[in-house]
Amino acid sequence: MGEAYGGNLFTSTTTILVLFILLVIVTRAFFI
């Protein structure tokens, strides 16, 4: 159960990180 929670937490963190990176790329693309 602990591993499942850890995996879920890791997945959520990775998703947020990917969305943040995409946001940065789009923002820089607009500024350029």
pLDDT tens for each residue of the chain, 32 residues long:
455 566 677 788 899 999 999 999 999 998 87
Phi, psi at 7, each rounded to 5°: -65, -40
Distance CA(27)–CA(4), nearest Å, equals 35
pTM score of the predicted model = 0.58
pLDDT of residue 7: 65
Q: What is the pLDDT of residue 32?
A: 72
Q: What is the pLDDT of residue 10?
A: 73
Residue 31: per-residue pLDDT: 84
